[in-house]
Structure 1
Amino acid sequence: MLQAALRPPSKPLATHQNPLTKAHSDRRSPASPVDDRQQADLGDYLVVSPYNTLPHLLDLRALEESQRLLAKSLTVLQSVREDYATAPYSQSFNWDAVLDRLKSLLELSQYQWKRQHFYIVVFRSQVPPTTDRTHLGALDQKSHVEATKSGGLLKYWFGLPDENGRNVATCIWRNFADARPASVGPGHRDAMRATINMYTEWKLERLRFEIDDGARAWSITPWEQMTDPDGS
């Protein structure tokens, strides 16, 4: 997904009528109430992005228990500073709140969390005021459906552009192997062509999100390719 300042998505076709929240994007007013835990009880599917129609929902049945718990915890992810488009990624979101939510779910489920890591992609961008954001929005939704089919996209979040047209979008993946095929589909190829033609500048960051035993601590560091065959 190459999101950088979109209109709200189209009216949901099915599944539920829950409002979108700041935990999936920054399009709502900061004064709007946020209760992301209401969105975590959707049976086998979970809203993990600003898009809440069925093709965009995460199928929890495809995940291991630890991944399901983290995906549910990430429904509370929010930006914590207005300059998130340019600020350090690890300082731009409420990671401690995500871990608190995870620890609560671990206690409820009696699941023993072991240290593990996840793969993060950060897309920083700048678009000129004349950019056709409707077209970018359509491309973003198409590429998000492709990414969702991988089964390993645990979270997709994007913000609003600042006064200079800068923005950030981020994907949190189960592992690197899931992200690779999702980045080569026709929707992503179209989005990449749009990036070249419509963006003033853009930059990708690849990060490692590690959560310690018992979810006692977390770290976000630059991604270094692992030696495992699946790239995880």
Structure 2
Amino acid sequence: MATTVASRPAIVPTLVDSNDEKAAAALVHALETEPTPSSSPVPTQTDSSRFITFSPYPDHLLDMETLDPQTQLLARALGVFDKTRDDYATAPYIESFNFSAVIDELRRLRAASPSASSWEKRDYFVVAFRSQIPPTTNYGDLSSLDKAAHREATDSGGLLRYWFHLPDADGRNLATCLWRSPADAHKAGHGAQHRKASSSVRSLYREWRIERYRLVIEDDVRDWEVIEWKD
């Protein structure tokens, strides 16, 4: 999107131009039917132990073999990631998502996995993209840009979770993605589809801004915190 991770969304979120049923239905239809060009083969259902769904795009799957065992556990735990309040688009980020449930799921997965090694403290990179979309924006254009950018990020590697929902009555929304590292986000952001999406941000959104956070998970998952990312 722009030239650095700090000044651009890692992925442009798919938004609609209103909160009505017609817009919502069109968004769902776009997610379910829009073809996604890609050089990577689409995994089959028999690959379910290796590939997991990690975004609203059911045909964009995360290849677990690209991750180390520790990060694989977190990626699976992030399957329960979701909002905790309806005003998440404008509320404080850390208070708007169920990170405590994610950590509980991570602990459960570790306990259930006989091969799980000890968990070493690690930081993960979290990006939040807050926006407001004007009624004049075509949500179909946003959907196409977002889906192509997400496929590119999936193929690039290191993206562990992507989440977005419908905008509120004022067109405000928040999309968020969780990365293995800032380097992974930076690499994905230099792809052609991300540059194309970035060049469209100012014309498609009334307002937008980026927030960056650090998900810190302590040794043996004894504790955790989400804090502002500072270089």
- What is the TM-score with the length of structure 2 in the denominator? 0.82
Structure 1 runs not aligned, ≥5 long: 18-40, 226-232
Amino acid paired to 2:174: V
Amino acid paired to 2:120: K
Amino acid paired to 2:219: D
Displacement of 1:151 after TM fit? 1.7
Change (3 A) 1:4 1:144: closer
2: CA distance between counterparts of 1:212 and 1:49? 26
Change (3 A) 1:141 1:162: same
SS in 2 for 1:203: strand
Amino acid paired to 1:114: E
Displacement of 1:193 after TM fit? 1.8
1:94 aligned to 2:104?
Answer: no
1:220 aligned to 2:226?
Answer: yes
**CA RMSD across the alignment:** 1.7
Where does residue 20 of structure 2 map in the other structure? none
Conserved 8 A contact 2:130-2:174: yes
SS in 2 for 1:10: helix
**Match of residue 152, structure 1, among 134, 147, 158:** 158
1:175 aligned to 2:173?
Answer: no
Conserved 8 A contact 2:165-2:173: yes
Q: Deviations over 1:25-79 (max 9, x none)?
A: xxxxxxxxxxxxxxxx9221110000011xx211100100111000000000110
The percent of aligned pairs where both chains have the same amino acid is: 44
2: CA distance between counterparts of 1:136 and 1:81? 25
Where does residue 10 of structure 1 map in the other structure? 32
Displacement of 1:11 after TM fit? 3.3
- What is the TM-score with the length of structure 1 in the denominator? 0.82
Q: Deviations over 1:108-145 (max 9, x none)?
A: 11422121110011100000122100110000000001
2: CA distance between counterparts of 1:98 and 1:152? 18
SS in 2 for 1:224: coil
Runs of 4+, deviation exceeding 3 Å = 11-17
Displacement of 1:4 after TM fit? 4.5
Where does residue 84 of structure 1 map in the other structure? 88
Higher helix share: 2
2: CA distance between counterparts of 1:109 and 1:178? 27
Where does residue 7 of structure 2 map in the other structure? none
Greater RCO structure (CA 8 Å; 6+ sep) = 2
**Match of residue 43, structure 1, among 49, 64, 67:** 49
Structure 2 runs not aligned, ≥5 long: 1-10, 17-26, 36-41
Displacement of 1:15 after TM fit? 4.9
